[in-house]
């Protein structure tokens, strides 16, 4: 669903109806794109403006131990083994994944010189394909997998948690998947090891997500916004190349939102999300006081 942007001033008066956005995310495609934000808004206090929009949709949750509600997404070139490195602050191709929130939103301030395409797949469609083609692997993906604590999640006392890739609660489907943390758990002697069947299940899921006919592809232009339901879609972006000038390098703003019309979750998600109740404020990274 694409909504044309009607904003004529930074006061949010003519922003598309938040109820329509929430409805499309939870009951529709799980993808909601908003047309280009006016240049006067982008050139002003744009982080405050984007946070105000997020608050109309739901409750923004922390994306860092510092409690950041809006994250600046740029290639920081920290290095592969630098503890500050996260997928969003690199320029490498990412795998299909979900984030620790109900809804993730991106506002593009500057596209890359080359690449940086957004790719989205419907996770329920992925689940149905795996259930049909490999029911043995589907059964495994519905069982708990170990997730190592993220390097930036220092407010979390648990070294790892366990949760399924596919789950249902009160007939509501949910998919949650971040393979990098599963692989890190497998490499850590203090976390449970993956079985051969679990590794095969993850490899097959990744292969299904790679099928181009299942992917919605787009590259955000300056001023464009996209919101995604993390329980019903998986997303990634392709590798990109930046311009040399700092002001021309790829730059997005990101929000994580807990929405009031969210679905109930399996109890196994409580450790990572704080609550499994429908409509509860949940997700995000615990700030360090």
Per-residue confidence (pLDDT) for residue 3, from 0 to 100: 54
* Average pLDDT of the segment spanning 204-211: 98
CA–CA separation, 96 vs 179, rounded Å? 9
Q: What is the mean pLDDT of the chain?
A: 90
Domain assignment of residue 126, yes or no: yes
Confidence at 10, pLDDT banded by 50, 70, 90: very low
- Cα 136 to Cα 133, 165, 189, 204, 205, distances in angstroms: 9, 14, 27, 11, 12
Reply yes or no on whether the pLDDT at 224 is more than 80.
Answer: yes
Q: Is 93 inside any structural domain?
A: yes
Tell me what pLDDT residue 130 has. 98
pLDDT surpassing 70 at residue 1 = no
> Would residue 99 count as lying in a domain?
yes
- Residue 8 scores a pLDDT above 90: no
What are 98-139's pLDDT values in tens digits? Answer: 999 999 999 999 999 999 999 999 999 999 999 999 999 999
Assess if residue 241 is contained within a domain: yes
Domain that holds residue 185: 2-273
The pLDDT of residue 154 is: 64
Q: What is the pLDDT of residues 242-287, one digit of tens each?
A: 888 988 899 999 999 999 999 999 999 999 999 999 999 999 998 8
Give the separation between CA 121 and CA 125, rounded to whole angstroms. 8
Structure tokens at 272: 């990572």
Q: How does DSSP classify residue 28?
A: S
Provide the token pair at 154.
């220092």
Domain for residue 30, yes or no?
Answer: yes
Largest separation between any pair of C-alpha atoms in the chain: 56
Does residue 86 register a pLDDT over 60?
Answer: no
pTM of this structure: 0.91
User: Based on the number of CB atoms within 10 Å of its own CB, is 149 exposed (0-12), middle (13-18) or buried (19 or more)?
Assistant: buried
Q: Which of 31-45, 193-207, 219-233 has the lowest mean pLDDT?
A: 31-45
Among the listed ranges 4-8, 36-40, 255-259, which one has the minimum average pLDDT value?
Answer: 4-8
What is the CA 111 to chain-centroid distance, rounded?
19
Among all chains, which residue has been given the structure tokens 């490999």? 134
The C-alpha atoms of residue 223 and residue 124 are separated, in whole angstroms, by 30
CA-to-CA separations, 6 to 12, 36, 44, in angstroms, rounded: 9, 9, 17
Tell me whether residue 136 is in a domain: yes
Which SS3 state, helix, strand or coil, does residue 84 take?
A: coil
| Tokens 């995310």, residue located | 25
User: Does position 22 have pLDDT exceeding 70, yes or no?
Assistant: yes
Give the per-residue pLDDT at 247.
85
Sign of CA dihedral 150, 156, 162, 164: negative
How many domains does one find in the chain?
A: 1
pLDDT tens figures, 140-194:
999 999 999 877 776 666 778 999 999 999 999 999 999 999 999 999 988 899 9
Q: What is the CATH number of the domain that holds 140?
A: 3.60.130.10
């Amino acid at each position: 669903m694409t909504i044309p942007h009607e904003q004529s001033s930074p006061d949010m008066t003519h922003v598309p109806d938040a109820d329509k956005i929430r409805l499309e995310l939870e009951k529709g495609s799980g993808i909601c794109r908003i047309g280009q934000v006016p240049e006067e808004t982008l050139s002003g206090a744009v982080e405050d403006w984007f946070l105000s929009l997020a608050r109309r949709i739901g409750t923004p949750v922390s994306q860092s131990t510092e409690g950041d509600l809006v994250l600046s997404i740029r290639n920081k070139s920290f290095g592969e083994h630098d503890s500050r490195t996260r997928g969003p602050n690199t320029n490498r191709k990412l795998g299909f994944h979900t984030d620790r929130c109900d809804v993730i939103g991106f506002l593009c301030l500057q596209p890359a010189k080359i690449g940086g395409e957004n790719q989205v797949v419907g996770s329920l469609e992925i689940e149905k394909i795996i259930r049909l083609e490999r029911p043995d692997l589907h059964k495994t993906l519905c069982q708990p997998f170990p997730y190592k604590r993220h390097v930036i999640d220092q407010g979390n006392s648990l070294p790892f948690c366990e949760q399924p890739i596919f789950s249902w609660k009160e007939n509501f489907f949910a998919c949650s998947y971040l393979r990098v943390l599963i692989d890190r758990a497998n490499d850590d002697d203090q976390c449970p090891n993956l079985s051969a069947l679990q590794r095969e299940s993850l490899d097959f899921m990744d292969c299904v997500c790679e099928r181009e006919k299942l992917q919605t592809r787009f590259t955000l232009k300056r001023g464009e916004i996209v919101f995604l339901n993390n329980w019903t879609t998986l997303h990634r972006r392709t590798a990109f190349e930046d311009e040399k000038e700092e002001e021309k390098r790829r730059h997005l703003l990101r929000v994580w939102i807990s929405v009031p019309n969210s679905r109930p979750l399996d109890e196994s998600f409580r450790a990572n999300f704080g609550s499994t109740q429908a409509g509860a404020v949940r997700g995000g990274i615990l700030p360090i006081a």
